[in-house]
Structure 1
């Protein structure tokens, strides 16, 4: 599994969440909300410190990661993070590994 983040999403994190060098950003599973991937669950994002990061990516000295306990949500899919141009919010998509 991999995390792929678009350039506009990196900019969104910097502007909207005030993410800066040295920060750690966690993608986590939360109960409720809507997801085109796992009904009844949705993906959240917060600044946090890794406990058991299973997957991570670093950009401009910022680490973006997913904890081991949240891997079930992705069911072998990569996480693709971009920005919805109309809503100006993060948009998540999922791609099956090796697909």
Structure 2
């Protein structure tokens, strides 16, 4: 599994979550909502330091990560984070490995 972000998504995290060089952004499993992978669960995001990061990606000095305990959610998929200019928010795609 890997994490990919496009430049517009990276910019959104910098502006909306004040992500700067040395910071960490976590993608985690939330109970509730829905996703193409699991009904009843969705992807959440928070600014926090890792405890047991299983997957990391560095962009502009910011480390984006998924904890080991959340790997099950991705079910063999890569996470691709893009930005929807119409909705003015990130979008998440899951690409099969």
Do these two structures clear the TM 0.5 threshold for a shared fold by scoring above it?
yes
TM-score (norm 2): 0.96
For residues 5-37 of structure 1, give each alpha carbon's deviation from its aligned partner in whole angstroms, at most 9, with x where no partner exists.
111000000111111111010000000012122
Aligned length: 97
Would you identify which runs of 4 or more consecutive aligned residues in structure 1 move more than 4 Å?
A: none
RMSD over aligned Cα, in angstroms?
A: 0.7
| 1:71 partnered with 2:71 | yes
Mapped to 2, the partners of 1:16 and 1:82 lie a distance apart of: 15
Q: Counterpart of 1:32 in 2: which secondary structure?
A: strand
| 1:9 partnered with 2:1 | no
Query: Could you say which residue in structure 2 is the equivalent of 1:26?
Result: 26
Q: What are structure 2's unaligned runs of at least 5 residues?
A: none
TM-score (norm 1): 0.94
Q: Counterpart of 1:41 in 2: which secondary structure?
A: strand
Mapped to 2, the partners of 1:75 and 1:91 lie a distance apart of: 18
Q: What are structure 1's unaligned runs of at least 5 residues?
A: none
